[in-house]
A and B are shown apart, each in its own frame.
Chain A
Amino acid sequence: MTGKQIAEELARTRLEDGADLDAVDHTGKRGKIVQAKKRKTVTDERILSVQDLHVTFNTYGGTVQAVRGVNFDLYKGETLAIVGESGCGKSVTSNAIMGLIQQPPGKIKSKGVHFKTQDLTKLSKKEMRKIQGVDISMIFQDPMTALNPTLTIGEQLTEGVKQHKNLSKAEAKERAIDMLKLVGIPNPDERLKQYPHQFSGGMRQRIVIAIALICEPELLIADEPTTALDVTIQAQILELFEEIQAKTGVSIILITHDLGVVAKIADRIAVMYAGKVIETGDKREIFYNPQHPYTKGLLTSVPRLDLAGGELKPIDGTPPDLFAPPSGCAFAARCPFSMDVCTNVYPEVTTLSETHKVDCWLQDPRAQKLIDEQAFAR
């Protein structure tokens, strides 16, 4: 791209990104997002492809179908946000990709979870260890518990590279210092000798990120990386993610239920409900043109400062019992547009654009009439 093209592209993105997005972006730093976005490049190289992933857990109470057929692709340099409420299978999906599901009680079935050319579900534990932390890394939700309280930061940072990349102690230390610098921790030399309790929550999350990035992974799975942090620290951590992505070109799967976070850094969004991805699309498609009633419900339940006097609009009802999930659409029981067919038959995927796909009977031409009759309050 020439300089002129970049400038044009930048201006266009700014325009498109305009008005509505900052309603969900409560950090108020929109200008900066756009700039950060510009530096990174999303390529066509597919890095992860999840096909029909099922995860079940055998418990004393029966079998929980936590993930019931999840499909998505991820491209190099891209940030995919997986959103959905608690218990919808977001974390289980990421743990399954990462190979962290204990089997038994867990059980994974799929048509393939391909990381580049390898099917992760076919690898032995030993082969998987060569990928864990090296090619795919994970960031956990709570930095207060994700670090081992009895080991120094230095040891926790370097043990991975030492094992995987056969680095000497000195090389590993040098690498660790570089990583701490990258995530913005001052005096890295001294800090390496300290223990987790000597750091604040935000600092610890930076360290967790440094640990995840030290082997230069191609895929980073961030499981609610900002949920346990307060809002100002959240913004800093999200900026760090963008900065790192721009520098290293790492692909990110961001698991979250915070739409503000999604609006800030995601390229594409997959909305999960009751163990299935019910709608995917790029950020704009999901935020401006949501098609699934659940996605619409999610968006309207976000507190908005720009709409006067409005009360929060929750989605009525509760998610279905995953011990015995319904045969039709799992959202049907809570859906204001629910039809007879919804409760009995699961809808086919409707492709709205190259990126935008939705599983909903309302997309069926025969349902259009109903939509016209009922105006959906946005």
Chain B
Amino acid sequence: MGKYILKRFLMMLVTIFIIATLTFFLMHAVPGSPLESDRNTNETVQANLERFYKLDQPLHIQYLSYMQSIVTFDFGPSIKDPNRTVNELLARGFPISFELGMITILVAVVSGIILGTMAALRHNKMIDYAAMAFAVIGISIPNFVLATVLIQQLAVNWNLFPPATWTSPMHMVLPVLALATGPMAIIARLTRSSMLEVLTQDYIKMARAKGIKPMRIVLRHALRNALMPVVTIMGTLLAGILTGTFVIEKIFAIPGMGKYFVDSINNRDYPVIMGTTVFYSAFLIFMLFLVDIVYGILDPRIKLHKKEGDV
């Protein structure tokens, strides 16, 4: 187990290195510079600023100094907003984005699995058709469209929930709903089809022949096996939810990381781009690593480590 984690950790470092490098060169390939603006700045001032941010140096020197900032995890101050360091921005924005993301995942996974399981158990009945119609709609509607519809209907027209910001649990309902519906629909469909397959397996028939209660057959015998494909796509869904938070945060005026991320790219704010991208990638890669471990827990045939004496 320890060896496996170490190996995965080293692989994670390599991945982050590649992402950082790609981000750096893409960033510089985009025309424009953080110091460009509509204001007419004095040429000397411009040159001084460039020197200060080391933008006058050759690209490889800049690359090295960025790499250094990643290793020390000190990205320095933002260029657009020199009073704040990138680390401060992360510290302020990330907990909120994290909260939004985690609640969304929780809601999507739990409700998706319940919906999918119910649909499978009532195969070709009303509940099944209703759940799958709902799932198709959920997959088809982009979260930003859903967000605006939700705001219009539930917040503006019916006044049930506050339309924006992130201050109380009531404020969380709409953004989480908007963000979770898509992944939930995907999980529900996947759980349903995988559950239907598992329910035809011999070991389910055998459990029935043993006279085991139906509830236990579903929860203990079927669900665990049916969740394998769901766990497999969790990685992709996580990435989707994380990037989804950017848009949703913007729509609901949630002060998370998404705002800084999008603004930093528009402003070519190099340190902030680097900081947020690397941080986000590292987080995502870590989550994928967790998914792999969950996989091993669910299915004993997948061994993360080799124990002695195994047949």
Binding site for B on A (CB under 8 A): 98, 100, 128-134, 137-138, 140-142, 145-151, 159-160, 163-164, 195, 197-200, 208, 211
Contact = CB atoms under 8 A, between A and B. Distances in A.
A198 B220 contact: no
B216 A146 contact: no
A208 B211 contact: no
Interface in B258-311: 298-301, 310-311
A321 to B, nearest CB: 25
Contact of B211 (A129, A151, A195, A199): A129
Query: Which size class do B's interface residues fall under?
Result: 20 to 34
B305 to A, nearest CB: 15
Those 6 A-B pairs whose CB atoms lie nearest each other, nearest first: A132-B211, A133-B210, A133-B211, A145-B202, A148-B203, A129-B211
B212 A159 contact: yes
B209 A98 contact: yes
Given A149-B225, A151-B220, A151-B221, A160 B203 contact: no
B28 interface: no
A138 B202 CA distance: 12
A39 B209 CA distance: 29
B209 A100 contact: yes
Contacts, number: 77
A154 B225 CA distance: 18
Given A129-B212, A151-B220, 9 more contacts: A100-B208, A132-B209, A133-B210, A134-B211, A146-B202, A160-B211, A160-B212, A195-B300, A211-B206
Contacts of B201: 145
Nearest to B211: A132
Contacts of A133: 209-212
Contacts of B298: 150
Contact of A148 (B211, B221, B310): B221
B211 A130 contact: yes
A100 B209 CA distance: 7
A146 B310 CA distance: 21
A101 to B, nearest CB: 11
A199 B208 contact: no
Nearest to B204: A148
14 contacts: A100-B205, A100-B208, A100-B209, A129-B211, A132-B210, A137-B210, A140-B206, A148-B203, A150-B299, A151-B224, A159-B220, A163-B211, A208-B206, A211-B206
A214 to B, nearest CB: 9
A14 to B, nearest CB: 37
B207 interface: yes
Nearest to A199: B311
A150 B294 CA distance: 13
Nearest to A200: B311
Contacts of A159: 210, 212, 216, 220
A195 B216 contact: no
B39 interface: no
Most B-side CB within 10 Å, residue of A148, A149, A199: A148
A211 B210 contact: yes
A208 B224 CA distance: 21
Interface in B181-234: 201-203, 205-213, 216, 220-221, 224-225
B301 A148 contact: no
A150 B205 CA distance: 15
Contacts of B212: 129, 133, 159-160, 163
Given A145-B203, A195-B300, A198-B311, A150 B225 contact: yes
Nearest to A147: B203
B301 A142 contact: no
A164 B206 CA distance: 15
A149 B211 contact: no
Contacts of A131: 211
A354 B32 CA distance: 101
B303 to A, nearest CB: 10
A159 B224 CA distance: 16
Contacts of A198: 310-311
A159 B201 CA distance: 19
A166 B221 CA distance: 20
B207 A148 contact: yes
Nearest to A152: B300
Contacts of A100: 205, 208-209
B209 A137 contact: yes
B302 to A, nearest CB: 10
A204 to B, nearest CB: 11
Interface string B77-119: 0000000000000000000000000000000000000000000
B208 A132 contact: yes
Interface string B106-145: 0000000000000000000000000000000000000000
B206 A138 contact: yes
A164 B211 contact: yes
Contacts of B206: 138, 140, 146-147, 208, 211
Given A150-B224, A151-B220, A199-B311, A140 B202 contact: yes
A32 B234 CA distance: 57
A163 B310 CA distance: 31
Nearest to A221: B209
A150 B211 contact: no
